[in-house]
Structure 1
Amino acid sequence: MDASLSDIDFNTTFVDDHFLFKDTVDGFGITMVLLYLVVCILGLAGNSLVIIAILKLDKLSSSTTVYIFNLALADGLFMVGLPFIASQNFQNEWMFGDVACKVVMVLDGINQFTSVFCLTAMSIDRYMALADPLRFARWRTPRWAKMVSVFLWLFSLLTILPMALHFTSDRGLCIPDFVSDDWWLGVLSYTFVMGFALPFTVMTASYTALLLTMRFQRIRATSLNLATHRLESQVTKMVVAVVVVFGMCWLPFYTFNFYALYQMGLVMTFARAFEFVVLLSYSWSCANPILYACFSDTFWRHFRTLLCPAAKTPPSMQCNTERYDLNDRDVTILA
């Protein structure tokens, strides 16, 4: 839970001191609120564009686009809670009531976990698509991807619901009903493993195996055409982008959460840095549509078609979001 963990850890650890900054409004606070709103607007707009492109132009025709659709849906919904978090951080007070506190935190947690789980499933899907498409063909149908996606949404709900329902605004902030330091350390450890460490490990392993497989196939090939060169370059750049951006956005967030357990007093510098890493973790949901546009020619064409109807790509130039020839393994990579 992104915002929840940030506010949880920061505010539960320092709940007795939060009134120190309640009336402190300065340039930093205003700047952060503006940045939160910018991230929210860009995240909603970018992910909405991805959803529309998939539904209108692709129509969920492949397993890849099914996962991208659910990823964009989770990322877009993830942005909905951002104005509430920005308001609490700016005023250092929750003004929306106890019910809204629980609802926002539940939705925040579900969408965060679903987003990460979908990206993890997509990394496995990418490996199967390139490593041995014949062998894994039956596991990569749109129908199968839809069933996996439904499971991921339900699993995210079950994963986060018990912790999210512990949130309350009784003490002026939307924070969990703090039980003990050991209890909260257990919650943080569980969330870190499920929401970052395990998915990050799976993604890294899948993409590493994918690159090694492609390199092995390249060595075995008698000739290497231009399309294969372009494919390997595209996959390599996507690997670096996905893994690095995910790690850069989320690792500081979890690091600050654990460090906050050992803070003995509220320090302005730490509080402001914490607010920034929360924004950074939310920014990851804005990054995915940008990555699609930068690394996928198909999505770039889809975006141009939606945003510039006069510049539609001729039918002869259009292609499916995922295609491959079982003989030469020529694949268009989206993620």
Structure 2
Amino acid sequence: KSYENKSIVADGARDYNHTYVDEHFYYVDNVDGFGITMAILYLVVCIVGLAGNSLVIVAILKLDKMSSSTTVYIFNLALADGLFMVGLPFIASQNFQNHWMFGDIACKAVMVLDGINQFTSVFCLTVMSIDRYMALAEPLRFARFRTPRCAKIVSAFLWLFSLLTILPMALHFSAVGGLCIPDLVSDAWWLGVLSYTFVMGFALPFTVMTASYTALLLTLRSQRLRTSTSNQEGHRLERQVTKMVVAVVVVFGMCWLPFYTFNFCSLYQSGLVLTFARAFEFVVLLSYSWSCANPILYACLSDTFRRHFRTLLCPVSKSSPSMQCNTERYDLNDTVVRDVTILA
């Protein structure tokens, strides 16, 4: 049975993506409108992801200086997402040319780095959901676990755990045949890899995030009802956090669930038609887009990050004070309300 890899691995879980397409369905030398469109979309996602995550990193280092556990996790999330974008041109190049031109060592390096950054991004997001719950439910009780120092230790562990999680599988990739693809041991082995990456990269994090945010919303509502049924500030906070929770969970699910679904479906296809292969390439790009979605969510849902972005991007006019940006330093941890409404 003749196989070719249509979409290269995009991350830890994605690192094991192999869309099998019969050779007579795949055009090697003909670059059509779909290939050009996908190349442009890859470029757009890469530029937006690098620019957005770089802006988040600069905002935290320059304006907040990682003064809270929240911003330590957001910094590591943005760093992982930004570094993940660095590998995107290599992936796009292979998809566009149907050939890996960078050598076997680069193949393994790109797959390892992509896997580390993807898993670290998801793990950071998961830990942040727990951190948000602790900040709201019992802030005094959990205060000693929410210091910047503790967050840095946890973040270092997440990077190490991501490396240990991805390394054994990523090293199965090679470019010996002209494509950076995994050396498949057997169908059972590949099913085990997909199941493992699905659980570690999606199912478990999604479950923890959903549970943490559900508990957070229930706690918010309980506190509001205990305080006052007519508390407008409580209503406002609950609505704001609800929007944040729904946005984070829905975007995470929309970006990753199609990718894993197509991966599992490909196992039971005896001959994948070109339409399926093209759809698979699109969902791979969709999973990549998760890494550039976080800064957009920050800008839309976090008042503090909007202020930080405005401070960095809005030029200061010396001649017109009314046109000047507000350059006041905003502490991301200055109040409980602001702390719990930061995007996580």
Sort the TM-score into its range (normalised by shorter chain).
Answer: over 0.9
TM superposition shift of 1:232: 1.2
- The residue number in structure 2 matching 1:322 is 333
Distance 1:330 1:314, change over 3 A: closer
Q: Does 1:162 align with 2:168?
A: yes
User: Residues of 2 paired with 1:293 and 1:4: CA distance?
Assistant: 27
More displaced 10-residue stretch of structure 1: 190-199 or 219-228: 219-228
- The residue number in structure 2 matching 1:273 is 279
TM superposition shift of 1:212: 0.5
1:166 partner amino acid: H
Greater fraction helix: 1
User: Residues of 2 paired with 1:5 and 1:212: CA distance?
Assistant: 32
Q: Check the 8 A contact 1:9/1:257 in 2, yes or no.
A: yes
* Pairs within 5 Å for 1:31-180: 31-180=37-186
Q: Check the 8 A contact 1:3/1:85 in 2, yes or no.
A: no
Secondary structure of residue in 2 paired with 1:309: coil
User: Residues of 1 paired with 2:194 and 2:87: CA distance?
Assistant: 20
Q: Check the 8 A contact 2:100/2:180 in 1, yes or no.
A: yes
Among the aligned pairs, what percent are the same residue? 77
Distance 1:244 1:165, change over 3 A: same
What is the number of equivalent residue pairs in this alignment? 328
More displaced 10-residue stretch of structure 1: 256-265 or 183-192: 256-265
Among residues 3, 10, 14, which one is paired with 2:18 in the alignment?
A: 10
TM superposition shift of 1:170: 1.0
Distance 1:200 1:272, change over 3 A: same
More displaced 10-residue stretch of structure 1: 214-223 or 250-259: 214-223
Q: Does 1:222 align with 2:233?
A: no
Q: Does 1:284 align with 2:290?
A: yes
- The residue number in structure 1 matching 2:3 is none
Once superposed, which parts of structure 1, at least 4 consecutive aligned residues long, lie more than 6 Å away?
none
Q: Check the 8 A contact 1:9/1:261 in 2, yes or no.
A: no
User: Residues of 1 paired with 2:104 and 2:68: CA distance?
Assistant: 42
TM-score by length of 2: 0.91
User: Residues of 2 paired with 1:281 and 1:331: CA distance?
Assistant: 28
1:156-205 per-position Cα deviation (integer Å, ceiling 9, x unaligned): 00000000011001112111111000000000000000000000000000
TM superposition shift of 1:6: 5.0
Distance 1:82 1:122, change over 3 A: same
TM superposition shift of 1:223: 5.8
User: Residues of 2 paired with 1:7 and 1:272: CA distance?
Assistant: 18
More displaced 10-residue stretch of structure 1: 138-147 or 256-265: 256-265
User: Residues of 1 paired with 2:141 and 2:51: CA distance?
Assistant: 38
User: Residues of 2 paired with 1:180 and 1:252: CA distance?
Assistant: 24
User: Residues of 1 paired with 2:280 and 2:246: CA distance?
Assistant: 26
TM superposition shift of 1:227: 3.1
User: Residues of 1 paired with 2:231 and 2:171: CA distance?
Assistant: 56
- The residue number in structure 2 matching 1:27 is 33
TM-score by length of 1: 0.94
1:202-224 per-position Cα deviation (integer Å, ceiling 9, x unaligned): 00000000000111111111365
Unaligned runs of 5+ in 2: 1-8, 317-323
TM superposition shift of 1:269: 0.3
